[in-house]
Structure 1
Amino acid sequence: MTHDVFNQAPPLTGHDVSADPALIAGVRRENADWALGELHRLGVLAGTERAQEWGRLANDHPPVLRTHDRYGHRIDEVEFHPAWHELMAVAVENGLHASPWASARPGAHVARAAKFYVWSQVEAGHGCPISMTYASVAALRHSPALAAVWEPLLTSRHYDFGLRPAAEKRGVLAGMAMTEKQGGSDVRSNTTRAEPCGDGTYALTGHKWFNSAPMCDVFLVLAQTGEGLSCFLLPRVLPDGTRNAMRLMRLKDKLGNRSNASAEVEYERAIAWLVGEEGRGLRTILEMVNMTRLDCVIGSAAGMRYGVTRAVHHARHRTAFGKPLAEHPLMRNVLADLVLESEAATTLMMRVAGATDRALRGDRFESALRRVALAVAKYWVCRRAPGHAAEALECLGGNGYVEESQMPRLFRESPLNGIWEGSGNIAALDVLRAMTREPETLEAFLIEVGRAAGGDRRLDEAVDRLRESLSDLDDAELRARRIAEDMALVLSASLLLRFAPQEVADAFCASRLAGEGGHAYGTLPPGTDLEAIISRGAITS
């Protein structure tokens, strides 16, 4: 023995991941307090060493593509580590994939968002097929006959992995295939074509450059017809049991999201069914995209919470220069700033989830607010995640830079939600599109922000500046990112003023609106109640 091991933070296990004050307050506020028991049970599981080990194993043993069997038959199957299936089974059994669509209960989409936020902190990659299955129902409802067949299977709480006809399965998962090599976000340039077969089906020929979660049972796919870009439902296995002609060419070698498979695919007259109107495919699939964009916000907020809880935990247990890191003034400033960013993201995420729930139930104001606030949140929260992950990692020093800490996995994952479902420019331009094409969205946004009017002079002044910048949109495209940023900050500040403790709201307004903080984390102004803020990022159970 050459030394004793001491002054290392203990493992962060055996806690309730849902014990997050901003999350619980949002669940109660957005009419989902009936789900707190379910959320607690999932949070306790998420905090176990067993669940965390599933996350590690799923990433250390990424999926493998098997294009052919031993005899040379084409099979196009993706093989996963058992830990992936454990993660998926928990997600499906807890309704993270599509349960709100089978519920008439107010707050169902909020409850699902909260559970997605909690379970995503165990492992983010498996959230991709869960998210797309959730979102697919919104698009499928454009074709009631197809929805009648598929929706009961999509909303089932049975995880039934394997390529078999849907009629033989207890539950199915859905994916999405939009982008092609030449187009990316410009899906109108897609070349995949769909030809009617004369029996109500279409034959698709072409390719997709990114097909997320290719092991799913069914996909929503964009293809060109004589009427223009259209949306189709394409199953992996046809009703007669034969494999559809969807060829998996290779899996992407990605920066992060290693546990999840993403593939390049080709279609050789693959059979599919039209969803919605021919030539209106973009509008149809945007129903799905709007739901997955919400999950991008949730996923980024979840990553921030994961990072900050580990940073606070490490700093409270690690001693340097004679006292715990968390007692050093500058580290306290960094930790408080990270908690502040995390709480703002969680609060904004929960408000958008609440707007989504009420919009889907017919509330016109909430629908207008959701339209613009979702685009704002998608831009801002996802944009802030990588820098937040990097700072949280740095709080652990060299310990945070090694794979065993799982912080590198968080860092690699952090840019994904900013790219998925439209990168930063797409999201910022969507903010402009919402306000110019649907003026009621800006009106709803200003009403929402105005509910905190008079609560803080710095917010009132920021809102005045925003109104002035929006009064002339001649060069708005050039300023789109700044506009989206300003809208995100005033909306977040207004929500924190209404719903968060005073010390949180005050610090946010000072540092984010009044310029009293710097550009880096850890530059909150003197007088900030650092300990009160840090305590909200600590695991207490």
Structure 2
Amino acid sequence: MAKVPQASSSTEGFFQSLPFFVPQYTAPSQLSDLMTPAAAQRLSDDPVLVRILHQYLPTHALQQVGPSIHRLSRRVLQPSVLRYAVEADTDIPTLHSLTTFGEVNKTDPLRTSPAWKALKAICVEEGTVSIAYDEAKTDFNRRTAQFGLVHVWTPAAAMSMCPMSMTDGAATLLSRHLADPDGDQPGRQAVFAEAYRRLVSQDPRQSWTSGQWMTERTGGSDVSGTETLARRLIQGEISEDERQGLDQDTLGQPLGPWRIDGFKWFSSATDSEVAVLLARTSQGISAFLVPMRRKVRGRTTPGVGDLDGQATELNGIRIQRLKDKLGTKGLPTAELEIKGARGWLIGQEGKGIKEISAILNITRIHAAAGSVAYWARGLAVCRAFSKVRKARGRLLYDHPPHVLWMAAETVKYWAATQLSFFGIALLGCNEQSWEAATKNTASETLISRDSTHRIALLRLLTPVIKAQVTVASANGLRECIECLGGVGYCENNEDGGIMNLAKLYRDTLANTIWEGTVSVMAEDVGRVIKDKRIAGGNIVETVFGSWVKTVLEHCRGSFKEECDVVEERLQDLVALTHNASAKEIEYEGRNLLSHLEAISSAVLLLHDASTDGEEVASHIASRYVWSHAVPHSRYRRKQSDRKIFLGTSFQPGSKL
């Protein structure tokens, strides 16, 4: 007798099983001393991370670093941490500009959630910044170890890695000036030393984070129109601040002798303890370190936002308003009015853009690494979902078109992850040395001993990595949302928000813009290619091309046809740039990014697969080459872009 259909209800009928999530990384030493790297790869949900760590870190370093990444990849799945990520995104920062009776609130205008503070503390205690500066670790690539932690932590961090990335950049900048004499800024060396110590601390009770304030209304990423001004205080003004008890930071150190005034239109990490900013002096655009708060020695009653019972207030800084953004909800991003902030000049007057580039190089790598980490979580959700979700009577993994689609997305993810970590490894090698960071690893054939070559290669590839990986990750997360159908489009904050791909997508979109859009990165690559100071203006052939050919020689025995294809694509790139004018390079900017990404990613995947011939790595390398690295068509575009984009009736100067 046929079963009588029963109507479903809120308590009866079909209920989808919650997917099971495998930890992202499993360290062999944490399970068994006899466990092989290949077995660890099989047990880790993110096998490309396993391969990257084994490629760039020697065995003894993996025994030190591996357990930390192993533990963190499990911590990010704990209900308490998942709950923090949800609460940071839903209990968003608020601004309280005025006191009860309408005075400007200089004490505690910004409120952030307890969850946001907890996530920042985890960032610090897990060493997401500090490990890169631990000079006791001299025999492995500290940057690779650092970003191994960052890779597994970021999806749960609710953008708390944004202030950490700027803290990382500020620490790098200050490290270059710790030995600078005070000169005409008495007390600067001690202030810089204490700030650096706190920026790289692994103790949440001692640690500081740093903001980075460059963006103004005049030009976004173009800082040439900076309207923020800085001038040296005269002795009378300094004496007046001393008389009023407004001359010390929260630690009792002297405030800097420079006064800064202006308006910053977009400043992330507004809850940081210090900031690095650009301001114009009589000598040009200069860089400054500015404490966020100062002591108020004349006030005896501490306010809500004061520290350790000591009355403090903002250091000439007023939060004008908080930005209402598409994503990154827990991250306080603000417009700031600066009136009489006191700070310290970093380096030389008029050299601020050069100084700030030390931060940009770090934060652009962080932007790419953070994006690909979000993509990793998205694909993890897709894998888990495909193992429990049925469509037309079969589990999703039994549908060949679905598996083909997800395999293609995984290939792109592996390529982006390899490209990001190559930039990270170059950064670490340049900061340490080839012998310290590369010797006795599988990357010996991948990273040149020649420091000049390495520095030039990283300079060329950093904007490529920033541009291409962030966009690829955003596109990849959109595909992950589609994989889940309607579930993917919802803000799933239940079950710890582990299924909330919409949030990851919103957040990762910020990285495509933050620290420079794709067009800005393309312009940067163009400047590198035409710069006569770098490889005599021939970096594509003598540095990049040389690197490609050298690495491919190690891969040719296993991937001859693929190597031939990549070299053909290289020839396309050389033809495009050889004797090209600055205007031609500028016009082809995005095309150049595509070439450099495809060639580099192919080389890295082929090299990785060549180290052990592992089946999946070999399939991925070959598939990437034939799908993404094949030579471009020689089609020459005609100059009809303006008509295509703006229409045939458009006339320059017209708004119609």
Instruction: State if a TM-score over 0.5 links the two structures.
Output: yes
Matches within 5 A, 1:4-19: 4=12, 6=14, 8-13=16-21, 15-16=23-24, 19=44
Deviation of 1:29 after TM superposition, in Å, equals: 1.7
The residue aligned with 1:216 is 272
Residues 478-523 of structure 1: CA deviation (Å, up to 9, x unaligned): 001001111101100010011041100111011112389xxxxxxx
1:306 corresponds, among 377, 385, 391, to 377
The residue aligned with 1:60 is 90
Q: Is contact 1:210–1:262 with CA below 8 Å preserved after alignment?
A: yes
In 1, Cα distance between the equivalents of 2:393 and 2:22? 28
1:446 corresponds, among 545, 551, 566, to 545
Q: Does 1:409 align with 2:489?
A: no
Instruction: Give the TM-score normalised by structure 1.
Output: 0.89
Q: What SS does the corresponding residue of 2:340 show, helix, strand or coil? A: strand
In 2, Cα distance between the equivalents of 1:9 and 1:409? 22
Higher RCO, 1 vs 2 (CA within 8 Å, ≥6 residues apart): 1
Q: Is contact 1:17–1:47 with CA below 8 Å preserved after alignment?
A: no
In 2, Cα distance between the equivalents of 1:493 and 1:36? 27
Q: Give, as a single letter, the amino acid of the residue that structure 2 aligns with 1:260.
A: L
Q: Is contact 1:142–1:284 with CA below 8 Å preserved after alignment?
A: no
Q: Is contact 1:67–1:77 with CA below 8 Å preserved after alignment?
A: yes
Between stretches 288-297 and 14-23, larger displacement belongs to 14-23
The residue aligned with 1:334 is 405
Q: Give, as a single letter, the amino acid of the residue that structure 2 aligns with 1:189.
A: G
Deviation of 1:11 after TM superposition, in Å, equals: 4.0
Matches within 5 A, 1:371-382: 371-382=459-470
Between stretches 284-293 and 96-105, larger displacement belongs to 96-105
Deviation of 1:12 after TM superposition, in Å, equals: 4.1
Deviation of 1:465 after TM superposition, in Å, equals: 1.6
Matches within 5 A, 1:261-272: 261-272=332-343
The residue aligned with 2:476 is 388
Q: Is contact 1:64–1:80 with CA below 8 Å preserved after alignment?
A: yes
Deviation of 1:459 after TM superposition, in Å, equals: 1.5
Q: What SS does the corresponding residue of 2:74 show, helix, strand or coil? A: helix
In 1, Cα distance between the equivalents of 2:292 and 2:478? 39
Q: Does 1:425 align with 2:513?
A: no
Matches within 5 A, 1:285-324: 285-324=356-395
The residue aligned with 1:88 is 120
Q: Is contact 1:373–1:445 with CA below 8 Å preserved after alignment?
A: no
Q: What SS does the corresponding residue of 2:476 show, helix, strand or coil? A: helix
In 2, Cα distance between the equivalents of 1:506 and 1:15? 27
Q: What SS does the corresponding residue of 2:97 show, helix, strand or coil? A: strand
1:178 corresponds, among 192, 214, 221, to 214
RMSD, aligned CA: 2.0
In 1, Cα distance between the equivalents of 2:172 and 2:349? 17
Deviation of 1:16 after TM superposition, in Å, equals: 4.0
Q: Give, as a single letter, the amino acid of the residue that structure 2 aligns with 1:482.
A: N
The residue aligned with 1:78 is 110
Q: Does 1:462 align with 2:569?
A: yes
In 2, Cα distance between the equivalents of 1:427 and 1:5? 52
Q: Is contact 2:131–2:145 with CA below 8 Å preserved after alignment?
A: no
Q: Is contact 2:217–2:264 with CA below 8 Å preserved after alignment?
A: yes
Deviation of 1:66 after TM superposition, in Å, equals: 2.4
The residue aligned with 1:123 is 157
The residue aligned with 2:51 is 25
The residue aligned with 1:472 is 579
Structure 1 segments unaligned to the other structure (5+ residues): 161-169, 517-541
User: Percent identity, aligned pairs only?
Assistant: 28
Residues 34-73 of structure 1: CA deviation (Å, up to 9, x unaligned): 3111111111101223222211111011111222344544
The residue aligned with 1:497 is 606
Q: Is contact 1:129–1:175 with CA below 8 Å preserved after alignment?
A: yes
The residue aligned with 2:441 is none
Deviation of 1:426 after TM superposition, in Å, equals: 0.8
Q: Is contact 1:386–1:414 with CA below 8 Å preserved after alignment?
A: yes
1:140 corresponds, among 174, 194, 197, to 174
Q: What SS does the corresponding residue of 2:387 show, helix, strand or coil? A: helix
Q: Is contact 1:16–1:45 with CA below 8 Å preserved after alignment?
A: no
In 2, Cα distance between the equivalents of 1:14 and 1:66? 43
Residues 442-500 of structure 1: CA deviation (Å, up to 9, x unaligned): 33322332212443132122122222222132211100100111110110001001104
Q: Give, as a single letter, the amino acid of the residue that structure 2 aligns with 1:416.
A: A
In 2, Cα distance between the equivalents of 1:426 and 1:27? 31
Matches within 5 A, 1:161-310: 170-198=206-234, 201-238=257-294, 241-310=312-381
Structure 1 pair 436/509, CA: closer, same or farther in 2 (3 Å)?
same
Instruction: Give the TM-score normalised by structure 2.
Output: 0.74
- Structure label with greater radius of gyration: 2
Q: Is contact 1:256–1:409 with CA below 8 Å preserved after alignment?
A: yes
